[in-house]
C-alpha cells in the first residue's frame, strides 16, 4: 500500500514507459465506465428541470437549460402517482419485514447441526432454485387461493428467496457452536437464541439481505402485472410502465391545463420527471449500504 | 465429511428403534420444527404445489374449475408438446432465447473482469470506492425504468441518440421496432446495468491476493501488464471459471420482465422468447395446458443444463453449487 502523504503523481513519474501507458489505459477505462453510468442519469435529471422550449429544440445535452418546475408540479398534482407511491411503500415495507422474519426462521433451523431434518429441508429449498413449476401453474395456484386483486398477492408469493436463505444460513453457520450450546444449557429455547444471539451477530448480513429484498420489492413489476388488475392497488412500477413506455398523455389530461401549456411540458419532460421521482428513493439508500455489500456478495458466492 | 463418517458408523436400527429415535428427535427439536413449519408450508404451497400442477402439460385443462381443474383434465399425453414442436414458433423461440443469453454472456461476462482489474489498479482509495459505488447504482434500478429510459433515448423523434445522428447528417433509426437492433439493445443495456455489480466479486478476489506476490514480481522487474497477466488473472481463474460455468447453465433462462417490456410485435422475429410466448399463450390467450407444456420444456432443459454445468464445474474447478 502506498503512503497517503506521497503526491499522487510521484509514482507515475518514476514508472517505465510501459507502466505509464498501462496506467493511462486504466484511468481512461475507469473514466469511461463512470461517465457511461452517470450520463443517462445526468441527462434525465437535466431534462426534467429544464425549460420546455429548450428541451423541445434539443438544446439540453448535459446541464439543465433554464429552470422550470412546472412539469414536477403537474406530475405531483396527479392523484394516481401518490396512490401508486403509497402502494409501493406499503408493499416494500411490509413485504421486506415479512421477508426478513421468514428468512431468519428458515435459516436458523437449517444452520443448526443438530436439527435432524436439516439435510432434507436444505434439499427442499435448494431444489426450488433450479426447478420450478413455471409461470402458469404458479399463476393458477396463486389465483386459485384467491389472491387475485388482493394486496397480499404482492407480499405472500415472494415471501422467501432460497438464495437469500442460503446466504443467511452461511452467516449463522459461522457463529461458534459453543454459543448455542451454552445458551441451550442455560435453558434458553431456540426462539430466544435466534432473537438474542444469532440475529445480533449477523447484523451486517441481514443489512445486505434487507437491501436485496427491499430493492426487489420496490422494483417488483411482474407480480403486480400478473395479480393486480385494479389501478388503486397497483404499485409505482406499473404506473411507470404506463407513463414511460406506453403513453404519458394521462397526466397532461388530468392536470386540466390548456392544450398550449400541456404542449410546453412535453411528453418527454413528464416522463423524465417520473423517472427522477421514482429512482431517487432507491439511489439514496445505496451508498449507505456499500460497506456491507461486498461482504454480502461474497457470502453468496462462497459455498458453506 | 463429519456427517458422512457419522452416518457410516450408525448401526442398523430396527423399525421400533427408528420410531423411538424419530420421536426423541421431534421432542428435542420441537422449537426448530415449530420455527421451520411456516417456511415449509410456504414452500409446499408456492413452490411444490405448482410443480404438481405441471401435470396440466399432459392434460386438456378446462378453465373455470379453479385449483381442482388442474388435476381433473382429460389426459392427452404429449399432444401439446407435439403441437409446439410442429408449430413455426418452436425453432424461432428456442433460437431467440438461446442467442439472447449467449450474446449477453459473450459480451457481458468479460466486462466486469476488465473493470475489476482496472479499478483495483487505482491507488487512490476514495476515487476507487466512489467509482465502485457509481457503477453499481444501475443494478438497483427497476427494469421498467431502464427500459423506459432506453425507449425514450432511442425515440425516433425526441430521443437524444437520434438527435445526435441527425445532427451528424444521418437518418433517424427507429431502434425499438427494428428486429436487427433488439439483441444489441438488450445486451448493451443489460451490461450497462450489471457490470459494476458483477465486478464486486472479482474485485474482492483480486483484493484477496497477497501484496507480497506483487512485491516479488516487482523486484523481478515485471511490468504492471505482466503482473495482471501472470499473477492476477491466474489467481482469480477459479472464480472466473465457476461463474462462467454457472452462467452457461442459465443460458435458457432469459429474464421475462425485460424482454416483455422491450419488445413489440414489430420485433417478434428476434425478440420473442420462450417465457414471453408462455405468458401470451397462457395468461393472455388462456391456453393454459399448451403454455404449461412449453414452460415445462423450458424449465426441464434449463434444469438439465444446470446439472451438466455443475458436473463440469466440479470436475474442472473443484467447486460446485451442490
Q: Domain check: are A78 and A108 in the same one?
A: yes
Query: Which residues on neighbouring strands pair with residue B59, listed in sequence order?
Result: B75
Chain B's closest residue to A8, CA to CA, is: B124
Question: Per the domain annotation, does B37 fall within a domain?
Answer: yes
φ/ψ of residue B253, rounded to 5 = -105, 80
Q: What's the ipTM?
A: 0.87
Report d(CA B59, CA B293) in Å as an integer: 9
Query: Nearest CA of chain B to the CA of A287: how many Å?
Result: 7
Mark whether A135 and A265 lie in a shared domain: yes
Instruction: Tell me: do A14 and A116 sit in the same domain.
Output: no
Residues A62, A37, single domain; the answer is: yes
- Rounded to a whole number of angstroms, the distance between the first and last alpha carbons of chain B is 14
Q: Within chain B, which residues score under 70 in pLDDT?
A: 1-11, 66, 317-322
B282 neighbourhood in chain A, CB within 8 Å: 135-136, 139
Q: Are residues B36 and B100 in the same domain?
A: no
Q: Which of B200, B42, B12 has its CA nearest to residue A301?
A: B200
CA dist., res. A40 & res. A62, Å (int): 10
Do residues B94 and B274 lie in contact, with contact meaning Cβ atoms separated by under 8 Å?
yes
My answer on whether A274 and A222 are in the same domain is yes
Q: Domain span at residue B111? A: 80-140+183-316
Number of domains in chain B: 2
Asked whether B56 and B79 are in contact (CB, 8 A), the reply is no
Residues B31 and B134 in one domain: no
> What's residue B292's pLDDT?
94
Does the beta carbon of A38 lie under 8 angstroms from any beta carbon of chain B?
yes
The answer to whether residues B122 and B205 belong to one domain is yes
Return all residues near B139 (Cβ < 8 A) that are at least 6 apart: B193, B194, B196, B197
Q: What is the pLDDT of residues B66-118, one digit of tens each?
A: 677 778 888 888 999 999 999 998 999 999 999 999 999 999 999 999 999 99
Same-domain status, A94 and A125: yes
CATH code: domain of residue A105:
1.10.3720.10
Return the CATH number at B271: 1.10.3720.10
Give residue A253's pLDDT: 64
Contact A218 B142 (CB under 8 A): yes
Q: What is the 3-state secondary structure (H, E, C) of chain B?
A: CHHHHHHHHCCCCCHHHHHHHHHHHHHHCHHHHHHHHHHHHHHHHHHHHHHHHHHHHHEECCCCCHHHHHHHCEECCCHHHHHHHHCCHHHHHHHHHHHHHHHHHHHHCHHHHHHHHHHHHCCCHHHHHHHHHHHHHHHHCCHHHHHHHHHHHCCCCCCHHHHHHHHCCCCCCCHHHCHHHHHHHHHHHHHHHHHHHHHHHHHHHHHCCCHHHHHHHHHCCCCHHHHHHHHHHHHCHHHHHHHHHHHHHCCCCCCHHHHHHHCCHHHHHHHCCHHHHHHHHHHHCCCHHHHHHHHHHHHHHHHHHHHHHHHHHHHHCCCCCC
Q: Are residues A114 and A232 in the same domain?
A: yes
Number of independent structural domains in chain A: 2
Statement to judge: residues B109 and B242 lie in one domain: yes
Could you tell me if residue B174 is inside a domain? no
Same domain, B47 and B98: no
How many Å apart are CA A108 and CA A297, to the nearest integer? 20
- Statement to judge: residues B127 and B260 lie in one domain: yes
Q: Evaluate whether residue A5 is within a structural domain.
A: no
User: End of a domain among A22, A47, A68?
Assistant: A68
Question: Does residue B156 lie within any of the structural domains?
Answer: no
For chain A, which ranges sit under pLDDT 50? 1-5, 301-304
**B71 found inside a domain:** no
**B19 inside domain:** yes
Inter-chain CB proximity B145 and A279 less than 8 Å? yes
| Residue A289 near chain B (CB below 8 Å) | no
B126/B92 same-domain check: yes
Mutate to test the interface with B, among A134, A147, A267 (most CBs of B within 10 A): A134
Residue B159 lies inside a defined structural domain of this protein: no
Q: Tell me if A245 is assigned to some domain.
A: yes
Does residue B97 share a domain with residue B45?
Answer: no
Same structural domain, A79 and A49: no
Residue A289: phi, psi to the nearest 5? -100, 0
Q: Is residue A2 part of a domain?
A: no
Residue with cell 450497462: B192
What sections of A145-266 are H helices per DSSP? 162-173, 177-185, 190-193, 199-201, 203-219, 222-227, 236-240, 249-255, 259-264
**Domain coverage including residue A121:** 73-301
> Which residues of chain B lie closer than 8 angstroms to A279, CB-CB?
141, 145
A127 close to B322: Cβ distance less than 8 angstroms: no
Q: Specify the pLDDT at position A259.
A: 56
Looking at the structure, do residues B275 and B306 belong to the same domain, yes or no? Answer: yes
Is residue A1 included in any domain, yes or no? Answer: no
Mutate which of A42, A122, A137 to test chain B, going by most B C-beta atoms within 10 A?
A: A137
Q: Domain end: A68, A92, A113, which one? A: A68
In a domain, B97, yes or no: yes
A58, A170: one domain: no
Q: Are strands B59-60 and B74-75 parallel, antiparallel or unpaired?
A: antiparallel
Distance from CA of B142 to the nearest CA of A (A): 5
- The closest CB to that of B25, out of A33, A116, A243, belongs to A116
What torsion do the CA atoms of A241, A247, A252, A253 make, to the nearest 10 degrees?
-110
For B26, left (φ over 0), alpha (ψ -120 to 50), or beta? alpha
Is residue A138 within 8 angstroms of chain B, CB to CB?
A: yes
Q: Examine the domain organization and report whether B34 and B122 are in the same domain.
A: no
Amino acid at each position: 500500500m502506498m503512503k497517503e502523504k506521497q503526491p499522487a503523481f510521484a509514482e507515475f513519474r518514476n514508472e517505465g514507459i510501459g507502466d505509464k501507458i498501462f496506467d493511462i489505459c486504466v484511468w481512461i477505462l475507469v473514466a469511461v465506465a463512470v461517465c457511461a453510468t452517470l450520463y443517462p442519469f445526468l441527462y434525465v435529471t437535466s431534462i426534467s428541470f429544464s425549460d420546455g422550449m429548450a428541451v423541445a429544440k434539443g438544446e439540453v445535452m448535459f446541464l439543465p437549460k433554464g429552470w422550470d418546475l412546472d412539469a414536477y408540479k403537474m406530475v405531483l398534482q396527479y392523484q394516481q402517482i401518490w396512490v401508486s407511491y403509497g402502494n409501493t411503500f406499503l408493499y416494500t415495507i411490509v413485504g421486506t419485514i415479512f421477508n426478513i422474519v421468514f428468512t431468519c426462521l428458515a435459516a436458523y433451523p437449517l444452520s443448526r447441526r443438530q436439527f435432524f431434518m436439516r439435510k432434507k429441508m436444505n434439499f427442499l429449498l435448494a431444489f426450488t432454485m433450479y426447478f420450478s413449476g413455471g409461470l402458469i401453474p404458479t399463476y393458477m395456484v396463486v389465483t386459485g387461493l384467491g389472491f387475485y386483486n388482493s394486496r397480499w398477492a404482492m407480499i405472500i408469493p415472494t415471501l422467501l428467496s432460497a438464495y437469500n436463505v442460503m446466504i443467511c444460513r452461511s452467516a449463522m453457520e459461522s457463529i461458534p457452536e459453543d454459543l448455542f450450546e451454552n445458551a441451550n444449557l442455560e435453558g434458553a429455547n431456540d426462539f430466544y437464541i435466534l432473537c438474542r444471539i444469532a440475529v445480533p451477530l449477523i447484523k451486517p448480513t441481514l443489512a445486505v439481505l434487507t437491501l436485496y429484498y427491499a430493492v426487489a420489492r420496490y422494483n417488483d413489476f411482474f407480480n403486480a402485472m400478473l395479480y393486480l388488475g385494479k389501478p388503486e392497488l397497483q404499485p409505482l412500477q406499473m404506473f411507470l410502465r404506463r407513463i414511460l413506455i406506453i403513453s404519458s398523455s394521462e397526466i397532461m389530461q388530468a392536470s386540466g391545463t390548456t392544450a398550449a401549456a400541456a404542449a410546453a411540458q412535453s411528453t418527454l419532460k413528464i416522463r423524465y420527471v417520473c423517472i427522477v421521482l421514482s429512482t431517487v428513493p432507491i439511489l439514496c439508500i445505496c451508498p449507505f449500504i456499500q460497506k456491507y455489500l461486498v461482504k454480502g456478495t461474497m457470502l453468496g458466492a462462497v459455498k458453506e | 465429511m463429519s456427517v458422512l463418517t457419522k452416518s457410516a458408523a450408525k448401526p442398523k436400527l430396527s423399525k421400533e428403534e427408528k420410531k423411538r429415535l424419530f420421536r426423541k428427535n421431534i421432542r428435542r427439536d420441537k422449537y426448530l420444527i415449530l420455527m421451520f413449519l411456516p417456511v415449509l408450508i410456504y414452500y409446499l404451497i408456492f413452490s411444490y404445489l405448482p410443480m404438481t400442477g405441471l401435470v396440466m402439460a399432459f392434460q386438456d385443462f378446462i378453465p373455470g374449475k379453479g385449483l381442482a381443474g388442474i388435476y381433473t383434465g382429460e389426459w392427452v399425453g404429449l399432444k401439446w408438446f407435439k403441437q409446439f414442436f410442429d408449430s413455426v414458433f418452436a425453432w424461432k423461440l428456442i433460437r431467440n432465447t438461446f442467442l439472447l443469453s449467449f450474446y449477453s454472456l459473450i459480451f457481458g461476462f468479460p466486462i466486469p473482469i476488465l473493470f475489476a482489474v482496472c479499478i483495483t489498479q487505482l491507488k487512490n482509495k476514495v476515487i476507487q470506492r466512489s467509482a465502485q459505488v457509481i457503477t453499481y447504482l444501475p443494478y438497483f434500478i427497476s427494469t421498467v425504468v431502464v427500459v423506459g429510459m432506453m425507449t425514450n433515448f432511442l425515440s425516433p423523434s425526441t430521443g437524444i441518440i437520434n438527435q445526435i445522428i441527425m445532427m451528424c447528417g444521418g437518418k433517424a433509426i427507429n431502434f425499438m421496432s427494428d428486429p436487427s437492433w433488439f439483441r444489441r439493445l438488450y445486451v448493451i443495456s443489460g451490461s450497462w446495468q450489471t457490470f459494476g455489480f458483477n465486478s464486486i466479486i472479482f474485485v474482492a478476489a483480486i483484493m484477496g491476493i497477497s501484496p507480497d506476490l506483487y512485491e516479488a514480481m516487482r523486484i523481478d522487474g515485471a511490468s504492471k501488464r505482466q503482473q495482471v497477466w501472470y499473477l492476477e488473472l491466474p489467481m482469480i481463474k477459479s472464480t472466473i471459471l465457476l461463474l462462467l460455468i454457472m452462467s452457461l447453465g442459465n443460458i435458457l433462462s432469459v429474464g421475462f420482465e425485460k424482454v416483455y417490456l422491450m419488445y413489440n410485435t414489430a420485433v417478434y422475429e428476434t425478440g420473442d422468447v420462450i417465457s414471453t410466448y408462455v405468458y401470451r399463450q397462457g395468461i393472455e390467450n388462456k391456453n393454459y395446458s399448451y403454455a404449461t407444456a412449453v414452460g415445462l420444456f423450458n424449465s426441464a432443459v434449463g434444469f438439465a443444463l444446470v446439472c451438466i454445468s455443475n458436473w463440469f464445474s466440479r470436475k474442472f474447478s473443484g467447486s460446485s453449487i451442490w
